[in-house]
Amino acid sequence: MKVIVMIGSKSDEKYVDKSGIRELFAACEIDWKLWVISAHRNLELVIEKSKDIIRPESADFADLVIAAAGMAADLPKVVAAATNFSLPVIGVALPSDAKPDASDALGAMTSVPKGCPFVIASGIGAAALLHAGITAVQMLTIGEDVKSKMIRNDFLAGYYRENVSKEPIIPLYQSERKEGLDDGQSASAD
């Protein structure tokens, strides 16, 4: 199992560092590489490298791509198109100096016409990069082998309990429904 994580510029590496994706992949024994590659500054290289990802004989052959970019966020869509949609591409919108809320990047990733390059959009920033990593692990461990089941059932569930929530999701959701908060509202006190 191999994942390629692409970021649009060297300055985006801070999101990789903050996210915890390195530790997640190490703990799950996921082989991965980090590429700094821009669809705007070097489109031809992105297309060439993306085509290598889907060649089984290539050293860069991968099962999944996480592509993180800001502003126009074309990197995930270019990778999806260059791989002929033959593998999952998870897009992560990253903040930029021009658009710190990354709304432009997220919008660019999710607003595509039918049949055009599409990606699974994970969200914005370092947290979304970790979510993309968790989604990648879930997708790569769908099999019924013992290692896949162990990663899914033991590690990811434990990781969630230890790092994200002290309560299971279902009882929390059920309590919100009882309080009439299942219409997109949150249960936080203002």
Q: What is the pLDDT of residues 106-124, one digit of tens each?
A: 888 888 777 776 788 889 9
> Comparing 54-58, 145-149, 157-161, which segment has the lowest mean pLDDT?
157-161
Note the pTM of the prediction, 2 decimals.
0.81
% the chain with pLDDT above 90: 46
> Is residue 2 within 8 Å of 32, Cβ to Cβ?
yes
Lowest average pLDDT, out of 38-52, 119-133, 143-157, goes to: 143-157
pLDDT at 75: 93
* Cα–Cα distance, 51 to 78 (Å, whole number): 11
Does residue 190 surpass a pLDDT of 50?
A: no
* CA dist., res. 84 & res. 188, Å (int): 43
Give the chain's domains with CATH numbers.
2-140 (3.40.50.1970)
Asked whether 34 and 25 are in contact (CB, 8 A), the reply is no
Q: List all residues 6 or more positions away from 43 whose beta carbon is below 8 Å from its beta carbon.
A: 78
Indicate whether 161 pLDDT > 90: no
CA distance 46 to 81: 11
